[in-house]
Structures are given as structure tokens and as C-alpha cells.
Structure 1
Amino acid sequence: MSAAVDPSSDADADVDVDVAVVGGGAAGLAAAVALGRSLRSVVVVDAGEPRNAPAAHAFDVLGREGIGPLDLLAAGREEARGYGVRFLADRVVTADREVAGFRLGLLGGSGVRARRLLLATGLVDELPEVPGLRRWWGTGVLHCPFCHGYEVRGQHVGVLGSRPGSLHQVLLFRALTDRVTFFRQDLDVPPETAAQFRALGVEVVEGAVRGLTGEPGALRVDVGGAGVEVEALVVAPWFRARGEVFAQLGGELATNAVGEFVPVQPGGATSLPGVWAAGNVADPGAMVAAATGAGVLAGVALHGDLVQEDVGALVA
């Protein structure tokens, strides 16, 4: 069983640090460790709502394959604390730019002043409006073939036609099993894609999906009053960035075919001076390992930026 996310805080009063990390997922913790190892003062503000909490395991994590997502975060917090990183179990509600950096107002009433900000707030998966999907999200209802596809290899997998990306999901999951059913709903299927489905033996079911019942391994998809049995159901969420802090500071989110995100340069710098972003808030498709790597790179870049500022102040 995965460990619960540690809700404890290391401080209750206002804090003043080099870098405030907003969000304590893989990207935020990796950045905090990199900054702590560079002797930077760091505080992580985390509301304890990791995106992958519904999943029992995290995969494609080198050396920690299959670890529980909350166990991974608990280990990361302890590593960061070992380098002097502090944690606040709270939520940022206001963000303002000051002469020396930024001030974050927290829901609990305290505040954080920081020279730099790293936004690692992640995203929210907005699922299609089908009753029953949310209940099994992360277990029997999936979206990523690389995160969970191996675990349903050889099984009867359904794919819900909700967004154009659903068509690509059919092909990716068909590589893992020869039993794929596509619930088209009103999604347009180009002729060349329909030909691919026929060649691969993908069954296409017409009609609106009205609900999902059963349990993982024995799900029942209600299509126009008739039930179709599958063992897992794949959906294509809309990835909505948790970009409130970025927007408060004057930033504008970008969108692509799968969702919205904070646009960044290599290393995580945003269009706002002093503000970096890493993980799913900046890259909706990043899995745990990719978010971790992005966090490390952002931490390195933040430290380098602070070094340049410190040296510049000495020679000014």
C-alpha cells in the first residue's frame, strides 16, 4: 500500500528564501533537491493533491519500477529535507511581484517571499462526461499506454472516442493486445484510419456511450442501452494546467491538441522574469521520469540565474 503524502509543515510563520517551489510532485521535489545540493534556501508549498494519486504504481521510473506514486513522493521529500529544504502544507492563493522577487500569500494565512519561483503545480485531467469514468480513473480507466499499457497486455481493451487523440490511442493499445474495441460516438474517423482499424481487426461500435459500470477487469460500457464488456477502458482527457499562479503574475497559458500548459524555454524559464515551470504544468505529456528530469534541469537553471545575479551585485 502506498504511503500517504506527508501533510506536515516545517514552518508556520512567513519565510524568506532563494526559491519557492509551488507543487511537491516529481518535478518540484527534483528541483528542490538540486537547489538544496547547491546550498540554496528552498521552500516547497504543496497542497497534497498529486495527479497520479489514484494509480497504484508508477512505471518507466528507472530503478524504482512499479513504486507506489505516494511512496515515491514520500522518499523524495525525505531526500529534499536532507538538504535543508522546508515544506509548507498549504495552497498559494495570491502571488505578487516585489522589488526583490515575489510574495506568495497562502491559504493558511502565512506568506512566502522568494527571489525566484518554480511552478510545478501539475495539471488536472478533465475526463469525458460519462457516468462511472471517474470512479475507476487510474485503475480500470486509463489513458497512457506507456504508464499502464503493459498491465493490460493481451486483455480486451476499449477505447472511448472522445477527442482526436483517441484514434492514436487505438493504434498504441492495439500494439499491446489483439482485442481492441473502439467506441466511436460522434468522433470523425478519416478513411485512412478506418482502413488501418479494419486491417488490425479493431471492432468499431457506433452510438453514444451513456455510462460505465462493473469493476476493473470486468467493465460494462453502456452504448444505447446495450452493454459491451471490456477489461479496461481508455479515454483521452483534456489536460488543464494548474496555472493560476502563473496567470496572477501576468502570464498567458498556451494550448495544443491535448490541453493547456505554461510555455517554457529549455531549462524551464517562462516569459515572466524570475519564474520557471517544470513538470506537467509545462509539459502535459511528461511521465514521472520526464517530469523529474525537467525538475532537475529547472533547479540547475535557477541556481545559475541566482549566481549571475549575486556576482553582478558584487561588481556593480
Structure 2
Amino acid sequence: MHQHTTIATAYDVIIVGGGAAGLSAALTLGRARRRVLVIDSAAPRNRFAGHMHGVLGHDGLPPLDLLEAGHRELERYDVTVTTGTVAQVGDIVRGLKVTCADGTVEYTRALLLAGGVDDELPDVPGLAEHWGDTVFQCPYCHGWEVRDRRIGVLATSGSIAHYGMLLRQWTDRLTVLPVGEAGTAALRDMDEDTRARFDARGIRLTGSPVTEVLSSGGTLTGVRTADGSVHELDALAVVPVPRPRDSCVAGLGLDRTQVPGSGSFLTVDPAGRTGHPRIWAAGNVVQPWLNVPMSGGLATMTASALNLALIEEDTDAAVRATEPHRGRPEIADDGYWESSYAGARPRWSGRPNSALVDYLTRYLGEDATGGAAHAAGAAGAAHAADIGCGEGADAVWLAAHGWTTTGVEVSGTALGRARALAEKAGAGDRVEFTADGLVGYSDAVNSGTRPRPDLVTVSYLHSPSQADRASLLHTAGDLLAPGGHLFVLSHILPGDDSGAPADAGGHGSTGPDRAAAVSTVPGLAPEDWTVVAGGAPERDEILPDGSVARSRDRALLLRRR
């Protein structure tokens, strides 16, 4: 049952965000002859500012004018820019599925997040109305325009000492005023040495927190504090809290780093790669303190690194296509799988198969361990075995959800990656891996060396090692005690999902159609099994030619009688 339909053509890279970072990356990738889509929310961080400064060759240019020029420059390359918001990013085989808020779906080999941040200002009436003009954050960007004028610095945290000293470079009429409890505490608890440094530079400190920003005719005139005092000022400097626009990848569980005073940001390596092999990030979305030229420059570097990663993948595919034996043998020896893994970078994203997660959580319950243990009549924690576990994503998911898990493989390289994934996920004490293969694992179970599993999962056992497919599936099923569950997922089993409806109403049925469903699995005798659920889940993958194919797999969750 390996049927697929071409549904789209994938982009090489989708860039989320069309600001300075996103367009700079698009320019680099377009000139590298990559097919690129930029999805832009049309709300750049600096849209509140009438002019940008500190940008060589463009000092004083309105920021939106820079983006318009960027759009014109991209027209000569294979880059498409569209307006929209990315709602969700999900894994597919050899790529990513990108879903927009309006329901539009695109596919890509790689994703570059460059959407920037939203600046969260202190909740002070009147403050937001002047943001980007006489209320500013970066003195390098806006300090010159308010030089020698009366500037107030709003203290929102303990970092005020550094920020206040920085602003002193632009004026000698500087007043530091607290905002909120954190700012009030920061000034109240300021040490004597810091106070002395402020006094030496003529910086005035006030203890009463700001309650309102005052203006006249649209011009900022000062602030009012809680004690009723009015402080006449011409501009205010404040450090807002940056909120990264990365919610579209929240479901992927990417590593994050806590940035003091700023919050949680995606963790990236020096080239901008996240913990996901196909997702990169650049600009303010990972480094909120970058200005326009720094964001653009680092995004260009990240785009270059991303292009190199795609080149390596293209080269790997070309080498495989020219090998004398392109296909997998019907029975591959252990060395075949080891060379297959050792000769390539990690293949998978580290996330479990969605069909496996769906079936086990729906039909064994949210507490899958309890459901399996009850069904198997087991006491204590239930045991699971993931046969052909590869780089370990499914086995680690089982362990993370309470199973005492064994991942069974024949490739030492794959298991090294699986163990690293387990440790990273904090599941290393609940999952172990064996390179003895199914035959060795079965011998250990039957001899009592290893516990008999309550659940066995077998996903995509297309070119098995050690024996033919029917023998291996028979061995996998035979591991289970009566009442145990076997989950089989494949794209080569015959049949469709008729007679095995994927709903809870199918539990326990033993009619002839159900027997026919079991008979499609080589090595299994229908009389030994009850179909819990079955179906034909869809799976998208990006083929080497860039086309996106949608396949229908075969999934069966069986209970041994």
C-alpha cells in the first residue's frame, strides 16, 4: 500500500518575517539560487519610528522605505514575498509543513525565523502614544535627536545603573524615575557606590514611581509621579520587555534560553541553527538588542550557513542516486544499516511519529502506561519495546510518557544518537537501547533476561535485518503476553482502512473484516489478535526533486488474545 499523490512543490527556504533580518536573508538565499518564500506580517518592530539612524548609507531614512527598497531588489531573484502570519510549523519527511493563520499551507525544506519581537512597554498612561519618537530605547538610534535636552530614564529593573550611565552620554540633564514595584525597589536598594557614581555625573534620582506621561498638543512635556509631583521632560528612555514572535514553532518543543531582563528566547548555535535540524533563526527574534545593520548582517550569515546545510543534503542525495544499489535490499544485514546511519548526518527531527502518538494516546488513554498495564494484567510500570527504533524519537516519547522502554536497533551510530536524545529529554533512566536487533532482544525476553513487554511498536519495517519481514513481525508479536498491544505502522502493507475503523467504537470487534485487517500483516495469525483500531493516516514528504507527496500509510493497533 504505497500510494502517493503530488500535492505541491516545496520551497527551499521559507522565511518568517520581512524586516531587515528576513529580507537580508532572502537576498542572500535568492542570490544563491534558492527558491524562497518570505511570509511577512507587515508589522516590523521599528514601524513606530519615523526615521532610523546608525545605518551606514541610510542614516535618517524612514524604516519602511528601506523595506520597500529591499522588496524591489528581491524581484530579480527567485524570491516571493507575501503578507501573512504563520500559525503553526510541523514536521514532515525531509521538510516542514507551514500553516498560515488564513489556512494557507506551504512546504519547505528549511525555515528561517526572522519575525523579530513585540516590545511590551510599562503600563503607564500616555507612554505608548510617544513610542518611537520622544519615547525610545536605543540611544545609538535616537539619542542624537534629543541630545542636550531634558531626558527621563524610566527604571523598570535592577539594570538601571548601566542604562542610566549610558544615557548620560547624550545629555547632562538626566533624571532617573522608577516605574512599578521592580523599578522602585531598584532605586531604593541601590548601593552607595552606584549612587556616588550617579552623583558624580550629575544624574538626578527620584524615589516616587511614575504614574502618568504628560503631553500638550501631541508633544511630550513630562511625567507625574505617585506623590503628585510633575517633572518637566522632553524625552523618555525606557527598556521594554521584548516578546519574540516565535509562537508558530511552540509545538515543536525547541530548546530555549532565558535572557536576563528579556525573557525566554530560542537557543541557536553561532550560525543561527536551533535544536531542530531544519529550523534556523536570526535577528531580534533571538537577540533583541540588535539594531538594523546588526540584524541584517547576522541574518546574512545565518542564510549562508543554511544554504551550506542544504548543499550538503543535496550532495548526499546525489551520492545515493549514483550508488550501484539504490534501493534497500529485502533483507539488509546489520552492516547495511550501520553504514546507512554512519554515512549521514542525523536523519530525523527528534520528534515522535504523529500516527504512533495519536493511536496510543487515543486508544490506550492519556495515561497510556496505566491503560496498557491494566489491559495486560501487569503490576507496576508497563514495559514497551520499540522495534527498529532508529535514532530513538518514538522510544524516548514512550519513556517520557511513563513506559519503561527498550529501543531495539542494529546500528550503533543510530543508538548513540538515540541515547543522546534520551539524556537531553531527561528520560535516560526510563529507556535503554540494545544493538542486538529483534532476534537478540527476543532471545533475552524468552530466556527471562529482559521483561516481557506490554506494548510493542513496529514502525516502517520495510527493509528489515536478520530475517524476512514476516518472520520479524511474527517474532515482534510473539513477544507480548496475552492482553498486550502491538502497534504496526507501514506504507507497504496491502489494504485500506475498511474493516478497521479508527474510532473507539471498534474496540474488541472480531468480525470477518477485522480478521481480514490482521491478515494484511505478514506473520500474524488473525485468530490470535483483536483489532483495537486501524486506519490509513496521511503522511507528507518532500521528494528529492522538490515535489511534495502525500502518502497513505497503514496503521493497526492490535491486542493479543
Please tell me the TM-score bracket, short chain as reference: over 0.9
| Residue matched to 1:206 | 207
Cα separation, partners in 2 of 1:258 and 1:248, compared to 1, 3 Å: same
CA distance in 2, matches of 1:14, 1:107: 19
1:295 aligned onto 2:299: yes
Letter in 2 for 1:16: A
Question: Which segment drifts farther, 162-171 or 126-135?
Answer: 162-171
Give the deviation of 1:81 after TM superposition.
Answer: 2.2
Letter in 2 for 1:71: D
CA contact (8 A) 1:246 1:252 kept: no
Cα separation, partners in 2 of 1:15 and 1:238, compared to 1, 3 Å: farther
Give the deviation of 1:95 after TM superposition.
Answer: 1.1
Look at both structures and tell me which one has the larger radius of gyration over its CA atoms: 2
Give the deviation of 1:266 after TM superposition.
Answer: 1.4
Give the deviation of 1:170 after TM superposition.
Answer: 1.1
| Residue matched to 1:129 | 123
Give the deviation of 1:150 after TM superposition.
Answer: 1.2
Cα separation, partners in 2 of 1:217 and 1:171, compared to 1, 3 Å: farther
CA distance in 2, matches of 1:248, 1:87: 25
| Residue matched to 2:319 | 315
| Residue matched to 1:173 | 167
1:86 aligned onto 2:65: no
1:280 to 262, 281, 284: 284
Cα separation, partners in 2 of 1:15 and 1:221, compared to 1, 3 Å: farther
Cα separation, partners in 2 of 1:38 and 1:172, compared to 1, 3 Å: same
Letter in 2 for 1:309: E
Q: Please, which runs of 5 or more residues in structure 2 have no aligned partner?
A: 1-6, 179-183, 321-561
CA distance in 2, matches of 1:45, 1:264: 21
- Per-residue Cα deviation, 1:76-132 (whole angstroms, up to 9, x for no partner): 111122212101211111211100200111112211100000000111111111111
CA distance in 2, matches of 1:117, 1:180: 44
Superposed, 1:58-207 pairs within 5 Å as 58-184=52-178, 185-187=184-186, 188-207=189-208
CA contact (8 A) 2:126 2:212 kept: yes
Letter in 2 for 1:20: I
CA contact (8 A) 1:186 1:208 kept: no
CA distance in 2, matches of 1:78, 1:261: 32
- Per-residue Cα deviation, 1:125-182 (whole angstroms, up to 9, x for no partner): 1111111111111111111111111111111100011122232221111111110011
| Residue matched to 2:237 | 234
| Residue matched to 2:31 | 37
CA distance in 1, matches of 2:18, 2:303: 14
Cα separation, partners in 2 of 1:15 and 1:65, compared to 1, 3 Å: farther
Which is richer in helix? 2
Q: Please, which runs of 5 or more residues in structure 1 have no aligned partner?
A: 1-12
Give the deviation of 1:20 after TM superposition.
Answer: 0.3
Give the deviation of 1:217 after TM superposition.
Answer: 5.8
Letter in 2 for 1:314: A
SS at match of 1:130: coil
CA distance in 1, matches of 2:94, 2:276: 15
| Residue matched to 2:249 | 246
CA distance in 1, matches of 2:56, 2:266: 27
Q: Name the Cα RMSD after superposition.
A: 1.6
CA distance in 1, matches of 2:267, 2:192: 34
Letter in 1 for 2:185: D
- Per-residue Cα deviation, 1:215-274 (whole angstroms, up to 9, x for no partner): 576422011222101110111111111121232222133221231322211121111111
Letter in 2 for 1:222: R
CA distance in 2, matches of 1:281, 1:15: 28
SS at match of 2:313: helix
* 4+ long deviations beyond 6 Å: none
CA contact (8 A) 1:122 1:279 kept: yes
Question: Which segment drifts farther, 240-249 or 145-154?
Answer: 240-249
1:50 to 30, 44, 50: 44
Give the deviation of 1:15 after TM superposition.
Answer: 5.8
Letter in 2 for 1:112: E
CA contact (8 A) 2:47 2:63 kept: yes
Cα separation, partners in 2 of 1:15 and 1:22, compared to 1, 3 Å: farther
Give the deviation of 1:289 after TM superposition.
Answer: 0.4
2:225 to 223, 226, 229: 223
Give the TM-score, by structure 2 length: 0.53
Letter in 2 for 1:211: E
CA contact (8 A) 1:103 1:114 kept: yes
Q: % of aligned pairs identical?
A: 39
CA distance in 2, matches of 1:45, 1:93: 11
CA distance in 2, matches of 1:76, 1:298: 18
Question: Which segment drifts farther, 44-53 or 160-169?
Answer: 160-169
Q: How many residues are matched?
A: 304
Ranked by relative contact order (alpha carbons within 8 Å, sequence separation 6 or more), the top structure is 1
SS at match of 1:52: helix
CA distance in 1, matches of 2:247, 2:255: 10
CA distance in 2, matches of 1:302, 1:218: 45
CA distance in 1, matches of 2:229, 2:141: 30
CA distance in 1, matches of 2:248, 2:134: 33
CA contact (8 A) 1:158 1:182 kept: yes
